[in-house]
Amino acid sequence: MKKKVSMPLVEKLIAYSGKGPVRFHMPGHKGGKGLPQRLRVIMEKNLFRWDMTEIPGLDNWHDPQGAIEEAQRLLAELYGADRSFFLVNGSTSGVMAMLGAALEKGGEVLLPRNSHKAALMGVILTGAKPVYLKPQVDGELGVATGVPLSEWRKALEQHPDAKAVFITNPTYQGFCPNLSGILSKAKARGMKVLVDEAHGAHLAFSKRLPSSAGEFEVDAWVQSPHKMLCSLTQSAWLHLKGRGLDRERLRSYLSLLTSTSPSYILMASLDAARAVMETRGRWWVEKGLELAERARKLINQKTHFYCVGREARGRGGVYDVDLSRLMVNVSPAGYTGFFVEKVLRERFNIYAEYADFSNVYFLLTGGNTWDDVAKLVRALKRFPARKKKLKPVCFPADLPARALDPGEAFFSPAERVHLDAAPGRIIRDSVIPYPPGVPLLCPGEIVEKQHVEVIREILRAGGYCQGIKNGCITVVKNG
């Protein structure tokens, strides 16, 4: 009898797709449902045929002069950029590359503490000095909301020699900063303005959404069209305006951070996504936005939960809100986000984007349908209100003290210690409740007892902390 060949990952993917899940998670194409029929058939039929290498006529990502270069030119034209690049290693590579192009070792960069971990990786790679801006924390929602413009101005005045500012627009939660206000103050001081718009590739296609970075004179911005548009996971693009960044230096960093065998399938999906947005972009975004608005209204009217909307503007550093995503606050009804997400998944076959202690998040795009929304609302109505209201897990109010620069700590000898022995030690590897990838502790910072308590509380609530394994944490040896 022949031994059955096991394909664990393949089998899991078959099982997931075969049960017809309701997808409120990335990627934005939602299993291809949102793609034009002709394009969907072409992509599915040619998956293996298009898995190519750099043969003559297909161009070379590391030195584009033909089809790839032309596709990137069309992308730049669509987004109003002077230059655009396809990325096959996610927005992470674009974030790191634009930081590398803007910073030298020891140079200061201003960035919110709730920036994605890719920004910290870029700081480590360049040897720069991060100046963290503390976002306000909304006690009711249990999340960091944003850095008020007044705090940006204060930081810019206190660090006039900083080389760059790094802004996230929007955050994982859909909160947007005052881009115009930050930009004008930073540019007046000669600083580079870099924007992580990984979650905002759709913003430019609807006047009902917050402004995209491309509407301003930023130096560079990165987007992940696989999140809210219809390219494949891991694909992204990077845009430039003006000559503020050294393009050769940027290109070198991109090559450093990218495989020498870039996927033509990913690049083809980027080209196709650009074509879809050029011809049907407004329809794609408006459809997702309309579904989200209807879902928000029904959730607030017919369930015991609260779905955040326009009223969040002006709240805790929030300048604007991306209404195409749903942030459903469940803690006032007596639930954790982790619990609600699990029940939706296991009982109702509904897959959210992610959950934290207090909220569950759902992403809606042109790939979703009214039937998806109806199923979600029906499921949420099944949760009765509980008398006990849960107190959200919040990060400490003050930023951790820093003993070493991130790069210095990251490249130091390290050891793992139990959480009980961690207070007073210097962190070597970040501790990040993930998603959404916001660091609790960054390399070079000193662990305090309150950090250990937050970690334990998150784990008890069913969350996950990257950097914690078997109750241990990585610290600088002898540090």
Contact yes or no for 267/68 (Cβ under 8 A):
yes
Phi/psi at 62 (5° precision): -75, -15
**Is pLDDT above 50 for 435?**
no
Model confidence pTM above 0.85: yes
Instruction: Outline which parts of the chain fall under CATH 3.40.640.10.
Output: 45-274
| Residue 347 burial (10 A CB sphere; 0-12, 13-18, 19+) | exposed
Quote the tokens at residue 35.
Answer: 């793609």
CATH architecture entry for 45-274: 3-Layer(aba) Sandwich (3.40)
The three-state (H, E, C) secondary structure of 186-227, written as one string: HHHCCCEEEEECCCCCCHHHCCCCCCCHHHCCCCEEEECHHH
Lowest mean pLDDT among 208-217, 340-349, 383-392: 383-392
DSSP assignment, residue 108? Answer: E
pLDDT in tens, 45-104: 888 999 999 999 999 999 999 999 999 999 999 999 999 999 999 999 999 999 999 999
Lowest mean pLDDT among 41-55, 100-114, 174-188, 363-377: 41-55
> What's the chain's average pLDDT?
94
pLDDT the model gives residue 235: 98
Closest CA to 43 of 32, 34, 58: 32
Owner of token pair 């802004």: 167
**Is pLDDT above 60 for 8?**
yes
Quote the tokens at residue 21.
Answer: 């899940």
> Rg of the Cα trace of the chain?
22
- How far is it, in rounded angstroms, from Cα 376 to Cα 414? 46
Across 367-385, average pLDDT: 98
Instruction: Outline which parts of the chain fall under CATH 3.90.105.10.
Output: 406-476
Lowest mean pLDDT among 253-262, 275-284, 470-479: 470-479
Higher local confidence (pLDDT), 438 or 34: 34
Quote the tokens at residue 297.
Answer: 């209204």
Q: What percent of the chain has pLDDT over 70?
A: 97
**Is pLDDT above 70 for 447?**
yes
Across 359-379, average pLDDT: 98
Would you say the C-alpha torsion 14, 15, 18, 23 has a positive or negative sign? Answer: negative
Across 401-405, average pLDDT: 95
CATH of domain 406-476: 3.90.105.10
**Is pLDDT above 80 for 479?**
no
Across 383-409, average pLDDT: 84
pLDDT in tens, 274-287: 999 999 999 999 99
Confidence of residue 399 (pLDDT cuts 50, 70, 90): confident
CA dihedral 87, 93, 94, 95 (to 10 degrees): 160
